[in-house]
Structure 1
Amino acid sequence: MADADADADSRPNVLLVLTDQERYDASAPDGPPVETPAIDRLSSEGVRFERAFTPISICSSARASLLTGRFPHGHGMLNNCHEPDAIRANLPDDLPTFSAELDAAGYDLTYTGKWHAGRDQTPADFGFSYLGGSDTHHDDIDEAFREHREKRDAPIGEVELTEEIYTGEDPRNADEGTFVAAKTPVDVEETRAYFLAERTIDAIEAHADGDRSDPFFHRADFYGPHHPWVVPEPYASLYDPDEIEPPASYAETYDGKPRVHENYLSYRGVEDFDWDLWAEAIAKYWGFITMIDHQLERVLDALEERGLAEETVVVHASDHGDFAGSHRQFNKGPLMYDDTYRIPLQVRWPGVTDSGATSDVPVHLHDLAATFLEMADVPVPESFDSRSLVPLLENGGDPPADLEWRDSTFAQYHGDEFGLYSQRMVRTDRYKYVYNGPDIDELYDLEADPAELRNLIDHPEYADVRREMRSRLADWMDETEDPNRIWVTDVLEAAS
């Protein structure tokens, strides 16, 4: 028996819960009053990262970065893969991914929910066993969920929604604009969030009932709180729109900002939204977050009940955020505000992370790729732009004294369905600089102006800051072999 114990695989299981367009502040201690008991539990039992950022605020690109450990210019999926103008519909076959590396190293990989990182590829092409809950690329619903709904006598498409909101001139007209929010009459057990939690619990139970000789990696990708924010009771009325206050950025005037910012109001169809309508929509967004959080709570309880909690690392993150009315904007786009680039990130690793620790170290979403590999004692491919967070997790959220860590994050944007639009961004604790190829650049003093309302790019008192931030951006572009680095670096040096 002693020999068997000695030969046992001691590497941890990993549960990655990735939400879709969840804002950082929704679960932050000083954020809005959104109920997130499961995320709060992970924060209290592990490390909560206060400065985690997505490398790009668009679904396919961010998810491809998470898989490959690379910034978008490194993997080439620059915009959404399902659109007809996709720059790259699928990832290159020869590009290393953390999941394929884990699969080769003996991990049992399973996947539920949203994919959206390849038009023709599926999680099975990257080492996962796919357990359902989504389609192969975007928003279609697979047969398993259809059957789940039919068994509960609530077939998809046969329910009457109420309190509907759409973009466009008439926010109650389903014939125009984008579907924003609504209340659904179905039970919580009939939502896709519940179904994905069920599939995840099934995976946990299957591992618990198996021989448990190999560790598992399960990825649960929830379809939400991405719009449309369609939620049942009690979540549809959990938050009173009359009690929701406008964020500071709602005072946006777009004065001194790139023209595309104001253009996006009409492009997204929300130029006529007033605060009452936004508050009604945001109440559904918050309700969606809480509904998903309650499903995560069920998953965490399942780990406890099946005796796997102490040997399982749990990670919660989001691919990117959502404007949800901030800067009066909807969805996301060529606006590099923290609303869509700052993401929640909590890591609970029993026996390793300190309970209730916070980290103010700047990190990227795709740093998780290298992190998972180091947890599994697997070498990190040289192609990765990803840096393992394990040293931070082992040291209360701080870098060890002998480890140098970057004091900034780097991000980019290449356009989505409206066409190409090149942006680069560097952010420190206090400042943010955005390079806008087609228009005026942006500089924000986040200490004096956390809502990012005042563009200081031409302010004479910030000349030294502007010069320093441009230099930081050039360094990031050079270090990551950004193909735009030669042209942009010349522009930045001339502008400084």
Structure 2
Amino acid sequence: MADTTRPNVLLVLTDQERHDLVAPDGVPVETEAIDGLAADGVRFSHAFTPISICSSARASLLTGLYPHNHGILNNVHEPDAVRTDLAETTPTFGTALREAGYRNAYVGKWHVGRTETPEDFGFDYVGGGDDHHDAHLESGFESYQRDYGVDPEAVEPRDPVYATFGDSRDLLGGTLPIPAEATRSAFNAELTVRRLEQLADGEDPFFHRVDFQGPHHPYLVPEPYASMYDPAALDPWPSDAETFDGKPQVQANYRGYRGVEELDREEWDRLRTLYMGFMHHIDDQIGRILAKLDALGIAENTLVVHASDHGDFTGGHRQWNKGPFMYDDTYRIPLVVRGPGVAGEGRVCDDPVSLMDLMPTFLEAAEEAVPEGLDARSLWPALRNDSDREMRDAVFGEYHGDEMGLYSQRMVRTERYKYVFNAPDIDELYDLDADPAELQNLVDHPDYRDVRSRLREQLAEWMQETGDPIAQFTARHLRGS
């Protein structure tokens, strides 16, 4: 007899999806499937990633720990990786759910370990990884494309946009001249649909995770999605007005490092519409997966979660990709939950929450004990809409550098304010009520002296309480004024 006391769980994770792609007042992208989840469940308006780097954020999701506690501080596939794999003794929700009798499956991007795989953390790996991040995993994508008459080695994007580095250049986006059904996003959806058909007949509950590689750049988008949004119709984004006045020098430097200094407005707008089309395409694949849940008759007992590891600049603050910037463009993420036990039907929850909070949330759904010592907390009080729930008054973030070099940052964000500690440069303070685009750094403004002192103290306390290894060196600075 099937276990219906514990829900199935479907986690749909995207890669570098901005929070405002699915916000009602955000970027005008059509996301019918995700909007449907929100209409039947809960959308968290203030969800954040603990770090805006893929491997580190994904490890925090898996462990419920801040990066300085799980040790994956930057991307594991890069030569400057501080640590390339999680410690075998680190508790993860995958291992805990497998031990609790869940049938775990994993599709798509992994990027948590250079040698470790989802199999090491309680998942059956189905396929769909990409060679750039997960060369040690079997993908199956190339043979899938050939079934659609596509030669993977002969695909060249039309109307490409490049970043330039002297005589070299990197592809940022373009139109993919293949059927939409032959993309990696469609492949990951197909693998998920097939796996759900197998999982639906079992007696034990399942946990299925599908990690789409988009809308991460390069934005390679098939038709009709590549032409779905008109660059000429795009309004400027508020943060396009960035001047870098009063900001850390690295922000201006990074434009050269990313090779985007020479991009003109037309190229930026084309990249933005490709990004939007990419997300539209992914949403259609999510729709296929949700339709399969309905067709199999298991939607009612399946907890569905949509989130992203972190956001994407896409030209915001005149930047590309991500880096040593703690703006909401990359630290604020989408988070939507629907399913049994969720008090939803279109509710918007403004509680400050973190991506890593999903780890104990999944364990509580499975009626499993949550390990001691986590930095995360379960979302279930907010999902149930408990009136007496304890809410955070702030969320925290960190950054340790990527390809350009190590660069320590820490962040505290309240509902109204954000304070960023930049170890090698000027700190940042933003009044998000007055300046939601985070254009004016108020760290030295006399009218904000008390706010600055309060947030610095709050950040110092968090660093010490969570065992941040640089706390001993920064406490004097943070408490100095």
TM-score, structure 2 normalization: 0.98
Deviation at 1:313, TM superposition (A): 0.3
Once structures 1 and 2 are overlaid, which stretch shifts more, 161-170 or 436-445?
161-170
Tell me the SS of whatever aligns to 2:104.
Answer: strand
User: Structure 1 residue aligned with 2:247, among 257, 280, 289?
Assistant: 257
Is the CA contact 2:255–2:261 (under 8 Å) kept in the aligned structure 1?
yes
The one of 382, 392, 406 aligned to 1:406: 392
**Aligned equivalent of 1:80:** 75
Q: Secondary structure at the match of 1:468?
A: helix
Contact 2:7 2:340 in 1 (8 A): no
Given candidates 230, 233, 251, the residue that maps to 1:240 is: 230
SS in 2 for 1:415: coil
Instruction: Say whether the 8 Å CA contact 2:4–2:205 is kept in structure 1.
Output: yes
Match of 2:170 in 1: 178
Partners of 1:155 and 1:387 lie apart in 2 by 46
Say if 1:55 and 1:412, in contact at 8 Å, map to a contact too.
yes
Displacement of 1:383 in angstroms is: 3.0
Structure 1 residues 87-486: aligned runs within 5 Å: 87-135=82-130, 138=133, 140=135, 142-168=138-164, 176-208=168-200, 210=201, 212-395=202-385, 399-401=386-388, 403-486=389-472
User: Are the counterparts in 1 of residues 110 and 134 from structure 2 also a CA contact under 8 Å?
Assistant: no
Q: Aligned-pair distance for 1:137?
A: 7.3
For residues 192 and 29 of structure 1, what CA distance do their matches in structure 2 show?
27
Is the CA contact (8 Å cut-off) linking 1:47 and 1:358 kept in structure 2? yes
Greater mean deviation of Cα atoms: 482-491 or 75-84: 482-491
2: distance between equivalents of 1:360 and 1:478? 27
Give 1:384 deviation, angstroms: 1.6
1:157 counterpart SS class: helix
Unpaired stretches in structure 1, ≥5 consecutive residues: none
1:24-53: CA deviation from partner (whole Å, max 9, x where unpaired): 001100012111001100110000000000
Superposed displacement of residue 478, structure 1: 2.0
For 1:185, give the aligned amino acid: P
Q: Report the aligned-residue RMSD.
A: 1.4
- Aligned mates of 1:213, 1:490 — CA distance in 2: 57
Aligned equivalents of 2:79 and 2:91: distance in 1?
A: 26
Hey, which bits of structure 1, 4+ residues long, moved more than 3 A? 139-143
CA distance in 2, matches of 1:318, 1:196: 16
Q: Distance in 2 between matches of 1:354 and 1:445?
A: 31
Q: Deviations over 1:365-419 (max 9, x none)?
A: 0000010000111111113211000111011xxx532x32211100000000111
SS in 1 for 2:479: helix
Partners of 2:42 and 2:342 within 8 A in 1: no
TM-score normalised per structure 1: 0.95
| In 1: Cα distance, 2:85 partner to 2:302 partner | 31
Tell me the distance in 2 between the aligned counterparts of 1:236 and 1:135.
22
SS in 1 for 2:172: strand
What is the CA-CA distance between 1:176 and the residue it aligns to?
Answer: 2.2
Maintained 8 Å contact 1:115/1:136 = no
Worse-matched range after superposition: 359-368 or 156-165: 156-165
- Checking the alignment, whether the CA contact within 8 Å between 1:445 and 1:452 is kept in structure 2 is yes
Question: 1 CA distance for matches of 2:40 and 2:97?
Answer: 26
Q: Secondary structure at the match of 2:140?
A: helix
